[in-house]
Amino acid sequence: MNVAEQRAYPRIKPPTSVLGAWRSGMQRDVSNVESLALGGVFLRTKKKVAIRSLVQILLDMPLGQVRGRGVVRRHQEHYGIAVQFIAMDPEDRGRLVRQIRDLTRPAS
């Protein structure tokens, strides 16, 4: 079974304009969003963040901002961090769902 088949939610590659501002402990950064899913996000950063660290995230997307909290599940040195969402207000979750739906809709 490959990794894509193990995922609970399919990933998408958002436009380069989508940014994620995040904070974990005393570290903070604004990063490009490499991939996005209902279950989490991969943020491009050269900062080292320990696995299982808690992260506060603010995603700036075309349909509006999405705030949430997550936990670092993977760190690729000099490349980025994979963050699993663990908490999000219903309004933010709704915006995330609409944004992903909009980005995956075929162009007409």
Domain coordinates in residue numbering, the chain:
8-104
State how far Cα 75 lies from the chain centre: 13
- The pLDDT, as a whole number, for residue 79 is 92
Q: What is the pTM of this model?
A: 0.88
Fold of 8-104: Thrombin, subunit H (2.40.10)
End-to-end CA distance of the chain: give it in Å, rounded.
34
- The pLDDT, as a whole number, for residue 108 is 60
- The pLDDT, as a whole number, for residue 1 is 46
Q: Which position has the token pair 């700036």?
A: 60
- The pLDDT, as a whole number, for residue 89 is 98
Average pLDDT per run of 10 along the chain, which is 108 residues long?
Answer: 63 91 96 96 95 98 95 93 98 95 78
| 93 sits in which H/E element | helix 90-104
